[in-house]
Amino acid sequence: MDEKLILDGQKVANDVKEGLKPRIAVLKEDGIIPSLATILVGDDPSSATYVRMKGNACERLGIHSQRIHLPKETTTDELLQTIHELNNDPTVHGILLQHPVPSHIDERAAFEAIALEKDVDGVTSWGYGQTALGFGLYPSCTPAAIVRIMKYYNIEAEGKHAVVVGRSPILGKPVSALLLNMNATVTTCHSRTVNLPEIVKQADIVVAAVGKPEFIKGNWLKEGAVVLDAGYNPGNVGDVEYESCYQKSSAITPVPGGVGPVTISMLLKHTVDAAEKLLEAK
Ligand SMILES: NC(=O)C1=CN([C@@H]2O[C@H](COP(=O)(O)OP(=O)(O)OC[C@H]3O[C@@H](n4cnc5c(N)ncnc54)[C@H](OP(=O)(O)O)[C@@H]3O)[C@@H](O)[C@H]2O)C=CC1
Ligand SMILES: Nc1nc(=O)c2c([nH]1)NC[C@@H]1CN(c3ccc(C(=O)N[C@@H](CCC(=O)O)C(=O)O)cc3)C=[N+]21
């Protein structure tokens, strides 16, 4: 009876985007075009690809995308200046600073400079704090995508043991917080975790957010675990070894076609949310 489920991120993303269309139409009637500013610093080719995908996804839906590309020599102060200008620009509703920025830039300082009401990517400490306390407007997009996939497929979190592998500020930590707020019992693992496979073995839900290709193996999993792979590595592979994890799981997100497309749709949703907030405030 229990069929194995491949969690189709494209389908979830389309569902999110369909829901946005009438909302964007209403905003336009009121003379507001939702607008996202994306900032890319430097020439990392995969970052350039992600930013382009985000901008294109905006435009396909009628969201304006203002693409800012700064040279790799940009200083922290210059980046902060750009962010302040976008904060003060009333036609910009959301700001996305693509991570990672070149190592000479203070990325945390740059994230913190983004105005909370424009932090549609959930990168500020204020945004994270609100997400953790359970009343945040915009959680980071990948954590939001993971939750959205679970909701779409009626995957219950309450009372389940969720094991998150990774604790980065825009992925591991906030997804742990969201799952906790959904009444899961959450274990967050990281590079100093001892006996990772044994901890993963206890999980009903596994979130992979390690940044290492095919790191999590099928023989670490409990039979029937739900596997949510946020990993996105060169060569289109995730952070779980797909074939062996597929065999053990009851449901799994593929890469590509899993968490990635939903992440982008959540960015669009947060941008529309931000534009609506501005209209309400008028
Ligand atoms: N699909 C999407 O939309 C997105 C995908 N990603 C992908 O998700 C993955 C993670 O990204 P991100 O969180 O930014 O990466 P980071 O490199 O910032 O964080 C990786 C985390 O994994 C932990 N880790 C590293 N090695 C091990 C290990 N051997 N055992 C256990 N834990 C380990 C680190 O621990 P420690 O803290 O101790 O260093 C760290 O917390 C990447 O593949 C990235 O491409 C990211 C954002 C969006
Ligand atoms: N501030 C910030 N926020 C981010 O959300 C952020 C970031 N920085 N830096 C890099 C990562 C990576 N990321 C992806 C988003 C979508 C896909 C995605 O849609 N992938 C498609 C495949 C696309 C293709 O390669 O053709 C898929 O998985 O099916 C992948 C990766 C967001 N990130």
257 is annotated as contributing to ligand binding:
no
Instruction: For residue 232, report the distance from its CA to the centre of ligand 2, in Å.
Output: 7
Gyration radius (Cα) of the chain, Å:
19
Please indicate whether residue 220, judged by its CB atom, sits closer than 6 Å to ligand 1. Answer: no
Domain match, 167 and 95 both: no
User: 1 pLDDT exceeds 90?
Assistant: no
Contacts of 19 (CB under 8 A, 6+ apart): 269
Domain match, 147 and 250 both: yes
Domain match, 106 and 154 both: no
Domain match, 38 and 110 both: yes
Cis peptide before 71 (omega within 30 of 0): no
**pTM, two decimal places:** 0.97
Task: Report residue 123's pLDDT band, with 50, 70 and 90 as the boundaries.
Answer: very high
With respect to residue 253, please indicate whether it lies within any of the assigned structural domains.
yes
Please indicate whether residue 190, judged by its CB atom, sits closer than 6 Å to ligand 1. Answer: yes
User: 36 pLDDT exceeds 80?
Assistant: yes
* C-alpha torsion 105→106→110→112, nearest 10: 170
Domain match, 105 and 164 both: no
| Per-position DSSP letters for 26-47, written without gaps between them | HHHHTT---EEEEEEES--HHH
User: And the tokens for 74?
Assistant: 């940009």
Across the range 220-249, mean pLDDT stands at 97
Domain match, 147 and 231 both: yes
Query: Where residue 179 sits, what CATH number does that domain have?
Result: 3.40.50.720
**Residue 229 · residue 253 · CB < 8 Å:** yes
Query: Where residue 78 sits, what CATH number does that domain have?
Result: 3.40.50.10860
Rounded mean pLDDT of the chain?
Answer: 97
Instruction: For residue 50, report the distance from its CA to the centre of ligand 2, in Å.
Output: 5
ipTM attached to this prediction: 0.97
Boundaries of domain holding 59: 30-118
